[in-house]
Amino acid sequence: MATKPIIILVGPSGAGKSTFLEKVLGDYTQFRDIITYTTRPMRKGESEGNPYHFVTRERFEELIQEKFFVEWARVHDKYYGSPRNPIEEAWLQGLAIIMDLDVQGARAFKKEFPQALTVFIHPPSIDELRRRIVERDGGAPKDLDLRLENAQKEMAVSGEFDRQMINREFSQSYAELKKMIDELLKSS
């Protein structure tokens, strides 16, 4: 099966991956987002299928056994995984794929789909990352220190990924991402 491009946005929670993904989907009709699965609780403003399929730990573990996922990982004591079928369906429809994954997920996905372009998104600083997480979650989450510690570990391995960018100011950073996407689409 001929495949279209896959772009994986990688980075710590709060770096801006979801915001970039939403903007790309609004600007590029040839991209499809693959909705991933999680066992974490819904946040305010989320619903089933937006931004995740929310399932119980038991159901997630059944899906692992059924080989339903391209990749899955346990992050902050919650499971996250990318379903296989929607990727194949997108390609049958002639669509490219864009996803946002954490470091573990991106590593596993890249093993399965080595042609994927991985773009690591850095926050401008740990202090700014802290501010973004607190603002997004409506206060400091219980696991904020753990998330920030994990963010530093993820940033330390960012060189593993194909491209890197710092999300200082959204419109400038998005222009940089858009340039990468346009180059990828031209070559596919």
**pTM value?**
0.87
The residue ranges of every structural domain in the chain are: 6-187
Mean pLDDT, residues 46-54: 92
Please tell me the distance from the alpha carbon of residue 5 to that of residue 94, in angstroms, as a whole number: 10
State yes or no: pLDDT of 151 exceeds 60: yes
* Fold of domain 6-187: Rossmann fold (3.40.50)
Mean pLDDT, residues 150-170: 95
* 1-23 tens-digit pLDDT: 456 899 999 999 889 998 999 99
How far apart, in Å, are the Cα atoms of 24 and each of 31, 79, 173, 178, 185? 8, 26, 12, 8, 13
pLDDT the model gives residue 167: 95
Per the CB < 8 A criterion, the answer to whether 28 and 188 are in contact is no
pLDDT the model gives residue 125: 92
pLDDT the model gives residue 3: 67
